[in-house]
Every structure is written in structure tokens, then in C-alpha cells.
A and B are shown apart, each in its own frame.
Chain A
Amino acid sequence: MPSLKDLSKKEELFSNGHRLCPGCGAPIIVRQVLLAVDTPVVICCSTGCLEVGTTIYPYTAWKVPWIHNAFENAASTISGVEAAYRSLKRQGKIDKEIRFIAFGGDGGTYDIGIQALSGALERGHRFLYICYDNEAYMNTGIQRSSASPRGASTTTSPAGKAIPEGKTEYRKDLTQIVAAHNIPYVAQASPGYYNDLMKKVQKALSANGPSFINILSPCPRGWRYPADQTIEIAKLAVLSGFWPLYEIENGKYRITYKPRKKKPLKDWLESQGRFRHLLKEENKKVVEELQKNIEEKEKKLLALAGENA
């Protein structure tokens, strides 16, 4: 892994001047991903904040070939691009090595795009799918998705008098769903740990087949925290056990970062306005259940990684 100093000298393929919110996790993730790339790439974005905020015609923030098709089909679109590449390469019409990366938000990946993703993974296209998971439909105004965690107050799962906890359902574990496709490389990452994230991107791109990285993407607007706290929040997600960093390389689980001192889940909940209502007395039981849920998931993950706690 190159040093931070070396990375600062590397040409950025994603330019400044885009129109994403201050403190948005998505462009930080994109920069970390593109800094990890050494082979030419073609990028596909699903409809969402990242697409809308970086390519308002006639401008583009992308210095690499880029395509947006629709909301639910980044995976099938990039599979068409990759199929074209395979075909033209086989026919001797292209000789360069090119890699393919699709970016989708959690709405475009966990929900409306899961069929296209599952199909593309099963077909075995060589591409990296990155879900920048900000845990709700942020582009349309913070509506709940199946990635929204239990207890989050969103505009379609608001905490109210009848439903004081906000979203009542646990989030979908997409990383595990993707892992069930038995593709060469699956990982979870956080922009708070750029070294870990970039290593995972490099591993994913060197896999001879589909790869997937689920990256937690803090959203100051939707999660309601100050815009200068994004990296801190991204770290807290990992330190509190809410977002474990791990990888599954050819079926082998490995926890890639283990905090020396774990933080209580309460710290994570207190850091964001979307969870503020959970700190009220009436939601005490919910917080206890959330804590328990995280501990159970951690146990399972440790078992999968062969590190029985």
C-alpha cells in the first residue's frame, strides 16, 4: 500500500467542483476507490446522489469513461459494458486491460437493483460492484430503505407517538446475500479506514470474476450530524461494532480490523440525530435489543472467521 504522501501525488480521476453536499461520504469513497486503482477503469453509476451530484450536463466530475443508465440496473449495465469488452478483446479489436466498477446506493442495490445485481454476480462478469450504503433514500429526501437500521427515524419511518422507535425492522444483510453467490471476493469497508478500504478495492479488482464491497457512507443530512464529522462517524460505526470490517476471499472469512477498545453502541446512537429518540426512556428496551442484535451478529461473524469468541 502506498503511503499517504505518495497517494497525495497520484492523479485524482474524480475532480472537485461536483455538487454533492459538504461532508457527503460518497465522494470520499469514490476518491479512495479511484486512488486504489492502477488499471484503466470504466465506471457505471446507478441513479442517486452520486450520479445526480457529479454529472449535471454539460459538466462531469469524472475523468474516466462513465455511464449512468437508470436506478435499478447499474449491475446489468456494467455487465453489458464488460460483455462488449470481452467480445471486442476476443476479436482483437481492443488490446488494453480495462477494469469495470459499478457504484450504487443502498436503494439502488439492496432494494430496486438487487435482481440485476444477483443476475450479474451469477453470470460471473468480471466487475466490482460497490454499494455506497448511506442507509436510506437520501437523494429523494431520506426515505427508509431495506438498509436503514432498526430504530432510525427517516421521513417514511418517523419516530411518532404510536411508533416511538422509528424504523421497526432490522436492516437487510446484503453483504451476506452477496456472499451466498459464492463469488471470489466480498467485503465490507468504511471510509474511516482508507487503508483497509483501498486494499479491499485492489483485491476485488484482481479477482478473476465478480466482486462486491459494501461501504458504509455517512450522510450528514440524513443521519443528522455536523458535516465535518463524517470520518469520525465512519470510524465510530466500526468501533461500536455496528459496521464490522471483514472480507470473504474465495469463501474464506477474515475480520480485517479489530478495534483494540470497542465503544458502546450508545456512542454510535448518540452521535446522530436519526437515533436521538432512542435515548428516551420509552425506547430503552429497543436500545437493549439493538445491542444484543449486534453482539449476536459479531459472534456469528467470529465463528465464520474461525475465531470463536
Chain B
Amino acid sequence: METIKAMTGDEIAAETIRQINPDVMAAYPITPQTEIVQIFSEFVANGLVDTEMVRVESEHSAMSACVGAASAGARAMTATSANGLALMWEIVYIAASLRLPIVMPVVNRALSGPINIHCDHSDSMGARDSGWIQLYSENCQEIYDNLIQAVRIAEDKSVLLPVMVTFDGFIISHGTERVKILEDEQVRKFIGKYNPRYPLLDIDNPVTYGPLDLFDYYFEHKRQQVEAMKNALDVIKKIGGEYTQLSGRSYELIEEFGSPDADLVVIAAGSTAGTVKGAIEELKEEGINAKLLKIRAFRPFPQDEIKQSLRKVAVVAVMDRSASFGAVGGPIFLEVRSALLDEERRIPVVNYIYGLGGRNIGIEDIKKVFQDLIQIRKTGKVKNLVNYLGVRE
């Protein structure tokens, strides 16, 4: 039996971690992730979990302790935001390279400087080459569903990679929504028991983790990591399917919303996908057919699904909530445009950088983007490849 509760993003993240019941949770507070750590600490204090909670003195030590715990053979988790993710950066890469299935909610917040506590994706987008799987959540329900699936994805034998489940700081982390929650037993049965292959604590079969790996082997290990990330594409789909059986909610690498035959498409990740949905519904009433392509998995990048989805469309706008300084456009834009490059028919793709440092984005802003797309469809001309939405300039 599922229950329905009204919860904020941080509350549901903490509740999901309680249901997952990790062996070790190592965490350090940072706005807007703090409530996750606070609420989970209460679960620990009240004996609701088996978790050994390590209240570390920094995020660097949070990820370091997770690496130690996961190597030891424990299911290990942490959670962070922005500067916290930046401080653990070095070990974020090491966690992926050691192939440790750590799951980490990342509450998206703008990276300093200047210091800012509100949402953008500069933190997780910066970590896109770190070897972590990245699942972006649109709302509280998706935080719940993604975190549960993340455990299975990370621990899949053909993957063995850490997963970050992201959601937008304050907009989702502190916004209250309706969430459908499975029973503890259902979740625990779905994620199953963790059977680590080479735990450090198996003292009868000693293993060496993290040796010096030089030019004679390092490249092969990196190549295997690339392959594991590729394997994750099918695994995310497979586990999404199994989760649908359990929950009735469907999960793919991407999600489409709006008229299937619409030729105007906006691509977005995170809470803005919900805003785009709102805009599409209003446009429909105005007689305009439009479509959303939501990126759920950004790493691995679902190139084939995106190509398939965009094959028949006229024009595409990619929404990026982070800037890639010195690059042609934002990170999602670059990947989408590259994916479409070898299509026979050239599809115009434009980029909108928006919402940096928590700058609000509303339905009207998205409708303006669709109006721009209508112009491009009409004239066949792209005036500005990269646009900055909602900024004074």
C-alpha cells in the first residue's frame, strides 16, 4: 500500500534514505541540503535505521569516508550542494574510478562566487566529467523515485558507478508537494541486499584498493569506466521498467510531454521541466502545439533517445541553468547540438542560459522561448545561437 504525504524535497530525500537504510551515511551540512542531514540525524537518534552516521568535519571528508565505507563493503551515502560538491571534487573522481556504487543527492545550488545559496546547475554540471551517473529530478516525487532506482543502477554488476540524484535548491528542496510513498518493505525488496564483490573487510581475501596506476594500465581502466557508463544506459532503462511495475510511474532516460507531433521543442532538466509543461498547456489553449523533452539522465548522455525524439521536429531550444565560460553554449546545448550533427536534415538548435543564482523563471519566459522558435520556424534563420533569458543587459 502506498501512502500519500505532503513533503518538501529535502524531507522526501531524507525519508527515502531512511527507507534505503544505508549502512553508512557520512555528511556535512550545507544550504540548501541541510534539512536532509538534520532529518536523517533524527532517524538515527530514534533508532529508525541501521545506519552508522559519520558527522564529518567537511565535505571532502564526507566523500572520503564514503569511499572508505563503500570499499569496506557497506552501502554508503552522502548528500551535498554547490561549494560542498566543489570541496569534495577530488574524491568525487576517485569514488567513480574505484567503481564504488555510492548514491548522493545533490541539491542544486549556484557555485560561488559571488556566494549565492539559490538554484542553478553549475555545481552538478561541473561534475559531468567525473564519472558519476547523473539523474535530474523535476519534483519531489522524482527525488523519491530516482533515489530508490539509483541504488540499483549504481550496484548493477555491469555498471558499478556512483550516482548523483539532483534536484533544484529551494524551488524543490524547500517546496512542499504531494509524494506517493511505497512501504518500507517494498523499497527494501526492490533494492535488495548489497553483495559487494571485493570488500576490504573480507580479511581472509585481502585486496588492495587505489594502487598507483601508471601509463601501462591507467588507460585500460579509464576505458573500462567509459564502457561501464555506456552500460548504464540500458541498466537505467531496465531498472526504470522494473520500477514502473512496482510504482506505476514510468521512468526512461528522457521524458516527452505535449503533442507527440509538435515540431517546436524545448529541452530542459530539473524543476524547469515542470514550468515548460505549464507553458505547453497554456500554448495548447492558444492553439499552439509544443513539446518538452526532459533530460532525466544527463550522464550517461542518452544520445540515441534524443535523436529519435527530435528526428521530425522543426526547431529546438535547449535550456541550460549553468554557463560554460568560453564554450559555444551551455553544457546541455553542446551535447544536444552535437547529437544532432550527423542527422541528414539540419535541425536548428538554439540555447537559452537562464536562472543563474536562483533568478526566477516562469511560464511567460518559456512562452517567449516558444515564440522565438515560431519565428525561427517561419524565417529559417537563427538570430542568436545563445540567448540569456531574464538577465538585465
A84 touches B64 (CB 8 A): no
- Is B325's beta carbon under 8 Å from chain A? no
A90 touches B201 (CB 8 A): no
| 7 cross-chain pairs, A with B, having the tightest CB-CB distances, nearest first | A80-B68, A119-B57, A80-B65, A84-B74, A84-B72, A55-B211, A76-B61
A51 touches B212 (CB 8 A): yes
- Is B76's beta carbon under 8 Å from chain A? yes
Complex alpha-carbon distance, A67 and B71, angstroms: 8
Complex alpha-carbon distance, A52 and B73, angstroms: 24
- Chain A contacts for B72, CB-based, 8 A: 42, 80-81, 84-85, 88
Complex alpha-carbon distance, A38 and B187, angstroms: 41
Complex alpha-carbon distance, A91 and B51, angstroms: 9
Q: Which of B42-87 contact A (CB under 8 A)?
A: 50-52, 54-58, 60-61, 64-74, 76
Complex alpha-carbon distance, A80 and B24, angstroms: 8
- Is A293's beta carbon under 8 Å from chain B? no
A76 touches B214 (CB 8 A): no
- Is B210's beta carbon under 8 Å from chain A? yes
- Chain A contacts for B212, CB-based, 8 A: 51-52, 55-57
- Is A58's beta carbon under 8 Å from chain B? yes
B211 touches A60 (CB 8 A): yes
A119 touches B208 (CB 8 A): no
Task: Across the interface, name the chain B residue whose C-beta is closest to A74.
Answer: B64
Given A98-B201, A123-B56, 13 more pairs with CB closer than 8 A: A42-B203, A55-B211, A59-B211, A65-B201, A69-B210, A70-B90, A76-B61, A79-B65, A79-B68, A83-B26, A84-B74, A88-B73, A119-B58
Q: Nearest chain B CB to A273's CB is how many angstroms away?
A: 28
Please list the residues of chain B having a beta carbon within 8 angstroms of any beta carbon in chain A: 23-24, 26, 50-52, 54-58, 60-61, 64-74, 76, 90-91, 94, 200-203, 206-214, 217
- Chain B contacts for A52, CB-based, 8 A: 212
- Is A116's beta carbon under 8 Å from chain B? yes
Complex alpha-carbon distance, A119 and B28, angstroms: 12
- Chain B contacts for A120, CB-based, 8 A: 61
Partner of B57, one of A58, A86, A87, A116: A116
Q: Nearest chain A CB to B105's CB is how many angstroms away?
A: 18
- Chain A contacts for B201, CB-based, 8 A: 42, 65, 81, 84-85, 88, 94, 98
A79 touches B200 (CB 8 A): no
Q: Which of A98-118 contact B (CB under 8 A)?
A: 98, 115-116, 118
Q: Nearest chain A CB to B310's CB is how many angstroms away?
A: 41
Complex alpha-carbon distance, A58 and B211, angstroms: 8
A57 touches B209 (CB 8 A): no
Please list the residues of chain A having a beta carbon within 8 angstroms of any beta carbon in chain B: 40, 42, 44, 51-52, 55-60, 62-70, 72-73, 75-88, 90-91, 94, 96, 98, 115-116, 118-120, 122-123
Q: Nearest chain B CB to A85's CB is how many angstroms away?
A: 6
Q: A81-B68, A87-B51, A87-B74 are in contact. Are A67 and B200 (CB under 8 A)?
A: yes
Complex alpha-carbon distance, A88 and B94, angstroms: 24
Query: Can you give 20 A-B contacts (C-beta < 8 A)?
Result: A42-B203, A55-B210, A57-B214, A60-B211, A65-B202, A65-B207, A65-B208, A67-B208, A69-B68, A76-B60, A78-B68, A80-B71, A82-B68, A83-B68, A87-B74, A88-B73, A96-B203, A115-B61, A116-B60, A119-B56
B206 touches A116 (CB 8 A): no
Complex alpha-carbon distance, A90 and B24, angstroms: 12
Complex alpha-carbon distance, A242 and B53, angstroms: 41
B66 touches A62 (CB 8 A): no
Q: Nearest chain B CB to A65's CB is how many angstroms away?
A: 4
Complex alpha-carbon distance, A58 and B26, angstroms: 31
A76 touches B71 (CB 8 A): no
B213 touches A87 (CB 8 A): no
Q: A66-B206, A66-B208, A70-B90 are in contact. Are A87 and B68 (CB under 8 A)?
A: no
A73 touches B91 (CB 8 A): yes
B60 touches A55 (CB 8 A): no
Q: A69-B91, A80-B66, A88-B201 are in contact. Are A57 and B211 (CB under 8 A)?
A: yes
Complex alpha-carbon distance, A244 and B192, angstroms: 54
Complex alpha-carbon distance, A123 and B64, angstroms: 15
B54 touches A68 (CB 8 A): no
- Chain A contacts for B52, CB-based, 8 A: 83-84, 86-87, 90
Q: A84-B52, A88-B201 are in contact. Are A77 and B68 (CB under 8 A)?
A: yes
- Chain B contacts for A85, CB-based, 8 A: 72, 201
Q: Nearest chain B CB to A95's CB is how many angstroms away?
A: 11
Max count, chain A CB within 10 A of own CB: residue among B23, B72, B90: B72
Task: Across the interface, name the chain A residue whose C-beta is closest to B198.
Answer: A65
B65 touches A58 (CB 8 A): no
Max count, chain B CB within 10 A of own CB: residue among A57, A82, A96, A123: A57
B24 touches A65 (CB 8 A): no
Q: Nearest chain B CB to A86's CB is how many angstroms away?
A: 5
- Chain B contacts for A86, CB-based, 8 A: 52
A115 touches B58 (CB 8 A): yes
- Chain A contacts for B91, CB-based, 8 A: 69-70, 73
Complex alpha-carbon distance, A76 and B64, angstroms: 6
A56 touches B211 (CB 8 A): yes
B60 touches A66 (CB 8 A): no
B24 touches A83 (CB 8 A): yes
- Chain B contacts for A58, CB-based, 8 A: 211, 217
- Chain A contacts for B71, CB-based, 8 A: 67, 80-81
Complex alpha-carbon distance, A94 and B201, angstroms: 8
Task: Across the interface, name the chain B residue whose C-beta is closest to A97.
Answer: B203
B57 touches A81 (CB 8 A): no
